Amino acid sequence: MSDTVKSLSQQLQAGRVSAVELAQDYLARIKGGNAAINAYVELNEAQTLEEARAADALRADGGGGPLTGVPIAHKDIFCQTGWHARAGSKMLESFAAPYDATLIERSRAAGLVTLGRTNMDEFAMGSSNESSHYGPVRNPWQHAAVPGGSSGGSAAAVAAGLAPAASGTDTGGSIRQPAAFCGISGIKPTYGIVSRWGMIAYASSLDQGGPMARTAEDCALLLNAFAGFDERDATSLQRAPEDYTRELAQPLAGLKIGVPKEFFAEGMSDDVRAAVDAALATFRSLGATLLDVSLPRAGMAVPAYYVIAPAEASSNLSRFDGVRYGYRAPEYSGLDDMYAKSRAQGFGAEVQRRVLIGTYVLSHGYYDAYYLQAQKVRRLIADDYATAFAQCDLIMGPTTPTVAYGLGDKTDDPLSMYLGDIYTTSVNLAGLPGMSIPCGFGAGGLPVGLQIVGNYFNEACMLRAAHRFQLETDWHARTPQE
Amino acid sequence: MSRSNWEVVIGLETHAQLNTASKIFSGSATAFGAAPNAQASAVDLALPGVLPVMNRAAVERAIRFGLAIGADVAPRSVFARKNYFYPDLPKGYQISQYELPVVLGGSLAIRVGEGADAYGKTVRLTRAHLEEDAGKSLHEDFHGMSGIDLNRAGTPLLEIVTEPDMSSSAEAVAYARALHALVRWIDICDGNMQEGSFRCDANVSVRRPGEPLGTRREIKNLNSFRFLQQAIDFEIQWQIEQIEDGHKIQQATVLFDPDSGETRMMRSKEDAHDYRYFPDPDLPPLVIADDWVAQVRAALPELPAALAQRLQAECGLSPYDAAGLTASREIAQYFLDALAAAGTPAGAQLPKLLANWVMGELAARLNREERDITASPVSAARLAGLVARIADNTISNSIARKVFEALWNGEGTDADAIIEAQGLKQVTDVSAIEPIIDEVLAANPKSVEEFRAGKEKAFNALVGQVMKASRGKASPAQVNDLLRRKLGG
- What are the boundaries of each domain within chain A? 5-251
Contacts of A371 in chain B (CB under 8 A): 278
Contacts of B138 in chain A (CB under 8 A): none
Q: In chain B, which residue's Cα lies nearest the Cα of A87?
A: B48
Q: Is residue A369 predicted with pLDDT exceeding 60?
A: yes
The CA-based diameter of chain B, rounded to the nearest angstrom, is 96
Q: Is residue B245 predicted with pLDDT exceeding 50?
A: yes
**How many angstroms separate the CA atoms of B37 and A421, rounded?**
43
Q: B278 and A371: CB-CB below 8 Å? A: yes
pLDDT, tens only, B76-127:
999 999 999 999 999 999 999 999 999 999 999 998 987 778 899 999 999 9
Angle at A20 between CA A14 and CA A22, to 5 degrees: 70
Could you tell me if A108 and A77 are in contact, meaning their C-beta atoms sit under 8 angstroms apart? no
Q: Is B27 on the interface with A (CB under 8 A)?
A: no
pLDDT, tens only, A287-331:
999 999 999 999 999 999 999 999 999 999 999 999 999 999 999
Backbone Cα Rg of chain B? 29
Q: From the CA of A399, how many Å to the nearest CA of chain B?
A: 26
Q: Is B87 on the interface with A (CB under 8 A)?
A: yes
Q: In chain A, which residue's Cα lies nearest the Cα of B278?
A: A362
Interface of A with B (CB under 8 A): 78-79, 85, 87, 92, 95, 97-99, 101, 196-201, 203-205, 231-235, 311-312, 314-315, 317-321, 323-325, 335, 339, 359, 362-364, 367, 371
Nearest to A100 by CA among B281, B91, B48, B283: B48
Query: Would you state the pLDDT for residue A482?
Result: 64
Q: B48 and A196: CB-CB below 8 Å? A: no
The average pLDDT across A431-439 equals 98
Q: From the CA of A298, how many Å to the nearest CA of chain B?
A: 22
The average pLDDT across B451-472 equals 84
First-to-last C-alpha distance (Å) of chain B: 57
What is the strand order of the sheet A434-441 is part of? A40-43, A113-118, A71-75, A165-170, A208-213, A185-188, A434-441, A447-454, A394-398, A256-260, A289-293
Query: Would you state the pLDDT for residue A411?
Result: 87
Residues 6+ apart with CB under 8 A from B87: A321, A323, A335, B137, B146, B148
Domain A5-251 matching CATH 3.90.1300.10: the answer reads yes
Could you tell me if A433 and A192 are in contact, meaning their C-beta atoms sit under 8 angstroms apart? no
Lowest mean pLDDT among B45-54, B284-293, B451-460: B451-460
Percent helix, strand and coil across chain B, each to the nearest 5: 40, 20, 40
The average pLDDT across A27-31 equals 98
**How many angstroms separate the CA atoms of B466 and B293, rounded?**
64
The one-letter code for the residue type at A258 is G
User: Looking at the partner chain, which of A196, A314, A324 has a beta carbon nearest the beta carbon of B51?
Assistant: A196
Query: Would you state the pLDDT for residue B231?
Result: 98
Q: B48 and A95: CB-CB below 8 Å? A: yes
User: Looking at the partner chain, which of A99, A233, A323 has a beta carbon nearest the beta carbon of B42?
Assistant: A99
Q: Is residue B428 predicted with pLDDT exceeding 80?
A: no
Q: B48 and A79: CB-CB below 8 Å? A: yes
- The three-state secondary structure class of A383 is helix
The average pLDDT across A66-75 equals 98
Q: B49 and A79: CB-CB below 8 Å? A: yes
Could you tell me if A160 and A68 are in contact, meaning their C-beta atoms sit under 8 angstroms apart? no
Q: Is residue A471 predicted with pLDDT exceeding 60?
A: yes
User: Looking at the partner chain, which of B48, B93, B276 has a beta carbon nearest the beta carbon of A97?
Assistant: B48
**How many angstroms separate the CA atoms of A246 and A257, rounded?**
20
Q: In chain A, which residue's Cα lies nearest the Cα of B88?
A: A323
DSSP label at residue A435: E
- pLDDT class of A480 with cuts at 50, 70, 90: very high
Alpha-carbon torsion, ordered A31, A34, A40, A46, to 10 deg: 0
The size of chain B, in residues, is: 489
Q: From the CA of B311, how many Å to the nearest CA of chain A?
A: 47
Q: Is B45 on the interface with A (CB under 8 A)?
A: yes
Q: B92 and A231: CB-CB below 8 Å? A: no
Mean pLDDT computed over every residue of chain B: 91
Q: Is B52 on the interface with A (CB under 8 A)?
A: yes
Residues 6+ apart with CB under 8 A from A222: A5, A67, A72, A165, A211, A213
Where does chain B hold its CATH 1.10.10.410 domain(s)? 430-487
Question: Which phi and psi angles does B283 have, rounded to 5°?
Answer: -125, 120
Question: Which phi and psi angles does B217 have, rounded to 5°?
Answer: -120, 145
Count of pairs with CB atoms under 8 A, one residue in A, one in B: 99
Q: B148 and A324: CB-CB below 8 Å? A: yes
Lowest mean pLDDT among A132-146, A419-433, B377-391: B377-391
- pLDDT class of A1 with cuts at 50, 70, 90: very low
Q: From the CA of A87, how many Å to the nearest CA of chain B?
A: 10
Query: Would you state the pLDDT for residue B91?
Result: 98
When scoring A167, A362, A371, A375 by the number of chain B Cβ atoms within 10 A, the one with the most, hence best to mutate, is: A362
Catalytic residue list of A = 75, 150, 174
Q: In chain A, which residue's Cα lies nearest the Cα of B54?
A: A234
**How many angstroms separate the CA atoms of A411 and B79, rounded?**
37
Q: A199 and B49: CB-CB below 8 Å? A: yes
Contacts of A205 in chain B (CB under 8 A): 281
Q: B87 and A323: CB-CB below 8 Å? A: yes
Nearest to B234 by CA among B254, B262, B260, B266: B262
Preceding amide of A150 cis, omega within 30: yes
Q: β-strands B79-83, B278-279: how paired?
A: antiparallel
- The three-state secondary structure class of B132 is strand
Nearest to B156 by CA among B268, B59, B256: B59
The average pLDDT across B416-432 equals 78
Could you tell me if A1 and A477 are in contact, meaning their C-beta atoms sit under 8 angstroms apart? yes
**How many angstroms separate the CA atoms of B356 and A218, rounded?**
81
Classify domain B430-487 by CATH number.
Answer: 1.10.10.410
Query: Would you state the pLDDT for residue B344?
Result: 63
Mean pLDDT computed over every residue of chain A: 97
- pLDDT class of B346 with cuts at 50, 70, 90: very low
Query: Would you state the pLDDT for residue B345?
Result: 53
Q: From the CA of B36, how many Å to the nearest CA of chain A?
A: 14
Quote ipTM for the complex: 0.96
- pLDDT class of B269 with cuts at 50, 70, 90: confident
pLDDT, tens only, B151-187:
999 999 999 999 999 999 999 999 999 999 999 999 9
Could you tell me if B350 and B344 are in contact, meaning their C-beta atoms sit under 8 angstroms apart? no
pTM for the structure as a whole:
0.91
DSSP of B182-220: HHHHTTS----TTTTSEEEEEEEEEE-TTSPPPPPEEEE
User: What burial letters (b/e) apply to B318-344, b meaning 16+ CB within 10 Å?
Assistant: eeebbbbbbbbbebbebbbebbebbee
Q: Is residue B489 predicted with pLDDT exceeding 60?
A: no
